[in-house]
Amino acid sequence: MIFSTRSTYGLRAMINLAKHAKLGSLALGAIAKEEKISLKYLERLFSNLKKASLVKAVKGASGGYALARKAKQINIYDIIKALEGEFNPFHCTGKKEKIYCNRLCKCEVTYVLSRVEQAISRSLKDIKLAQLL
Q: Residue 87: which CATH number?
A: 1.10.10.10
What's the pLDDT score for residue 115? 83
DSSP state of 75: B
- Of 111, 2, 14, the C-alpha closest to 55 is 14
The structural domain count of the chain equals 1
- Most confident stretch, 72-76, 93-97, 103-107: 72-76
φ, ψ at 67 (rounded to 5°): -65, 140
Cα–Cα nearest to 75, from 30, 120, 21, 22: 120
- The parent domain of residue 20 ranges over 5-132
pTM: 0.83
Q: Determine the average pLDDT of the residues in 72-88.
A: 90
pLDDT at 93 over 70: no
